[in-house]
Amino acid sequence: MNCESSPENKIEMEERQMAMIIDGKKISTQIKDELKEKVEKYKKNGVNICLAVIQVGDNPASTVYVGNKKKACAYIGMESQAYELPEETTEEELLDLVKKLNQDEKVNGILVQLPLPNHINEDLVIQTISPKKDVDGFHPQSVGALSIGQPGFVSCTPAGIIELLKRSDISIDGKECVVIGRSNIVGKPMALLLLRENGTVTVCHSHTKDMKEVTKRADILIVAIGRAKFIDESYIKEGAVVIDVGMNRDENGKLCGDVDFEAVKDKVSAITPVPGGVGPMTIAMLMYNCVKAATAE
Ligand code: NAP
């Protein structure tokens, strides 16, 4: 009997060929629920965990991100302090607030929502946050620790991507990993984390020559460019895992990633959607870093 031609097997084969859609919403909820349990235990022992969030100006996207962070704190039972400062706040005033929060024993994590207005030096603000409270993982000390394999806070988006892969049973060890983008908050720490997990890592950027030749080698392709639907099937190896970090608006104003999801979904073995992929993981990992800041776990 030729089993392969039976209708049942055909359906099974078609199912096998379909890409796994990595559900960042579900995985991030699992992480937040695990943290919620921990936070409750700490509360019972009299330890309250608190994140201070500073926003300067009223950039609408920042307001949404800050709101989501406050909601996540409430969900896991953590306290959040919101500092909503006017656009004309001086650099000195902001630095003074950060220094005050560094000294405040009730505050475990400090997050300054970026971007800051042009008259404020972002690097200086980041460097002023105590490395012990650097829950965004942007302080040079945190970045340095990551690069030499020492413990410290890791930037939330790349840390979230590693969790997504691990919790989806996708092994990184020995895989060809290609990261497109070399920003300080996504691309560079992403490359370091993949290296830490024993991936063979290549980083592409706007000066990379013949990028398709590089990306078509990738078993795991991480895309963080910031260009709507830039990556189509011609960049992808059959069966690759594709992680789309991009958050853009398409021609109809709809949220979309850097990857053309519809064009690549039949070629990949697994892919993250936008929205509902990497985005929710970033906040879950921020909560993870806050709990770590408070409990040194
Ligand atoms: P970024 O700082 O603007 O960096 C973009 C990177 O992409 C740069 O390294 C740039 O290369 C590279 N690039 C741009 N065009 C390219 C091209 N045509 N070919 C190859 N490389 C190219 O952006 P980012 O902060 O890393 O963010 C990237 C995207 O992720 C954005 O859409 C952002 O909104 C999104 N994001 C999402 C989350 C989340 O939680 N989901 C978090 C952070 C960021 P050069 O260095 O040579 O200029």
pLDDT tens by residue, 230-274: 999 999 999 999 999 999 999 999 999 999 999 999 999 999 999
And the tokens for 179?
């990261």
Mean of the per-residue pLDDT values for the chain? 94
Atom of ligand 1 nearest to the CA of 279: 41
CA distance 242 to 259: 9
- Tens digit of pLDDT for each residue in 131-176? 999 999 999 999 999 999 999 999 999 999 999 999 999 999 999 9
CA distance 79 to 67: 14
What pLDDT is recorded for position 27?
A: 98
**CA 203 to ligand 1 center in whole angstroms:** 12
Q: Which fold has domain 45-132?
A: Rossmann fold (3.40.50)
What pLDDT is recorded for position 2?
A: 43
Q: Does residue 54 have its Cβ closer than 6 Å to ligand 1? A: no
Left, alpha or beta for 237 (phi > 0: left; psi -120 to 50: alpha)? beta
Domain positions in the chain: 45-132, 156-279
What pLDDT is recorded for position 4?
A: 45
210 is catalytic: no
Q: Does residue 276 have its Cβ closer than 6 Å to ligand 1? A: no
* pLDDT at position 97 over 70: yes
256 CB-side CA count, 13 A: 16
* pLDDT at position 1 over 50: no
Q: Which fold has domain 156-279?
A: Rossmann fold (3.40.50)
Q: Residue 86 — pLDDT band, cuts 50, 70, 90?
A: very high
From 136, 219, 244, 260, active-site residue: 136
CATH topology match: 45-132 vs 156-279:
yes
Q: Residue 296 — pLDDT band, cuts 50, 70, 90?
A: confident
Sign of the four-CA dihedral 161, 185, 296, 65: negative
Average pLDDT over residues 58-76: 95
**CA 247 to ligand 1 center in whole angstroms:** 10
* pLDDT at position 12 over 50: no
